[in-house]
Amino acid sequence: MQISTTSSTDLPRSGPGSLVLALDVGGTKAEAALVDDRGTVLPGSRHRAPTGRTASSDDLAASVTDVVNRALGALPADVALAGVGVGCAGPITVAAGTVSPLNLEVWRQYPLLKLVQGLVPDARVRLRMDGLCITLAEHWVGAGQGTDSMMGMIVSTGVGGGLILGGRTVSGPSGNAGHIGHVEIGGFDDPCACGGRGCLEAVGSGPNTVAWARRQGFTGTSGEDLAAAYASGDEIAQRAVERSGRAIGRAIASATNLVDLDVVAIGGGFSHVSPDLFDFIRESVAERSAFEFATRVRVLPSSLSGEGPLIGAAALIHRAELVP
């Protein structure tokens, strides 16, 4: 199908009725979809392909190419593509357009921006860390609406985050600001793939929580197994979920002490392991009882289900004024 775009010297800008191609690349899948200027995913345009630790670099590139091309196939012939927003697990290097997702070891300084630009050569393409994208989505149409100081978090295969402070995103010079998954948590010593010990991702992510439970005698193998065991009253599963929640809460309390947050919105597959996870998180935050400014932070589940990362990637174009 013919893609309606303009030349690279006359880039389209987001406006009423415009569509952005959104791409999200993570530790288990790549997804792409078309998203309109209201933050709505165009029906029939959302496609996914696997990634994962066993995939080769070529496999990962093929998955990205597949979902981008299939999403583009849903672009109406009479609609100009406003641009392409790309969110990827970190770390990333914005200036170079490269990514080095910790959970995708075959991609180190991989030129993801160049790959996507080659697939959509006449479009404006912007790349940011997935945690920042989820934060943009929550601020735009999710749990963070109406606040100018917030953090979005993903608790899934890994743990990511992003910041909006004073109404603007904070990316840092490399693009990795807000990477809360690799903040070390007091009271924990779990080794992390980043080289640290006691990092939030090493303690609180889905796979690492399951791994901890298995070391205690749990026989399940997935976050879904852990969720079912927790709901049935399994003692090990309950301790594992509480441990994850308390680690997440300590990280949020530390972040709030550092940058004075109003809201933290949490999404990602493992955030759904049990509603009790949020109780454990809030209880851990509340332990900072001497600091009213820190304990007032509202910790909320994402209201965007699985579409948040795509909506946030699209916001890199639709709400470009928030992203320096």
Is 3 a residue whose pLDDT tops 90?
no
**pLDDT tens-digit series, residues 59-74:** 999 999 999 999 999 9
Mean per-residue pLDDT, 80-87: 96
Helix (H) or strand (E) holding 235: helix 235-259
Q: By C-alpha distance, which of 322, 7, 4, 12 is closest to 169? A: 322
Domains present along the chain, CATH in parentheses: 19-130+307-322 (3.30.420.40), 143-303 (3.30.420.40)
d(CA 25, CA 52): 10
Is 4 a residue whose pLDDT tops 70?
no
Q: By C-alpha distance, which of 138, 140, 29, 47 is closest to 88? A: 29
pLDDT of residue 16: 57
Asked if 159 and 152 touch (Cβ cutoff 8 Å), the reply is no
Mean per-residue pLDDT, 244-248: 98
Is 7 a residue whose pLDDT tops 90?
no
Q: By C-alpha distance, which of 24, 29, 25, 23 is closest to 52? A: 29
pLDDT of residue 15: 57
Distances (CA, A) of 105 to 5, 10, 108, 133, 207: 35, 37, 7, 22, 16
